[in-house]
Structure 1
Amino acid sequence: MTSQLIKQLLTDALKPEVLEIIDHSAAHAGHAGAQQGGGHYHVTIVSEAFEGKSMVQRHQLIYQALGDLMKQQIHALGINALSPSEKN
């Protein structure tokens, strides 16, 4: 399952305090990207790795961690990336 793989890859790379993955793929079943097998996901992640990083840098870290999964199994990815000091 793609959600489990996303969780494993992000956990291994970013050691998050909080990681929530929501699979919205079923709501996009007729969408062109979904027809090619790509899912729609939203990730909320809190990690020390994001401390002092811009939003672009945080997204880059996530994309790096997911690697080829972004090309093969993920069509759309919403990201809410926070450092521990921002989560409250």
Structure 2
Amino acid sequence: MHIAATLRRKLEQSFAPSRLDVTDESARHAGHGAHAGKETHFALVVVSDAFTGKSRVERHRMVHSVLAEELVVGGVHALALTALTPQEDRAA
């Protein structure tokens, strides 16, 4: 399974997001932890009720906890993460 698909599956199972964008930005980072043809750098937008009442740091910790395996041994070098509640997403 591709890393992007694994990230998507885990985030969907854990947060039931109303919006989930998983963007592989690895090609933009060639030579900086990215290897040709490998998925190493991602931009994530996760919009979920699970983030209601949580600080930005708490939200990031929640996502990092769910994706711990990919971040530690799975080859993901970097995440650009936006974690919002549905209300915050509508206001943007």
State the 4+ residue runs in structure 1 displaced beyond 6 angstroms.
none
Residue number in structure 2 paired with 1:49 = 50
Structure 2: distance between partners of 1:38 and 1:24: 8
Q: TM-score, normalised by structure 1?
A: 0.90
CA displacement at 1:20 relative to structure 2: 0.3
Structure 1 residue ranges without an equivalent (≥5): none
Letter in 1 for 2:47: V
Aligned residues: 86
Higher strand share: 1
CA displacement at 1:38 relative to structure 2: 6.2
Structure 2 residue ranges without an equivalent (≥5): none
Residue number in structure 2 paired with 1:79 = 81
Q: TM-score, normalised by structure 2?
A: 0.87
Residue number in structure 1 paired with 2:15 = 14
For the aligned residue pairs, the C-alpha RMSD in angstroms reads 1.3
Residue number in structure 2 paired with 1:34 = 34
Letter in 1 for 2:83: A
SS at match of 2:34: helix
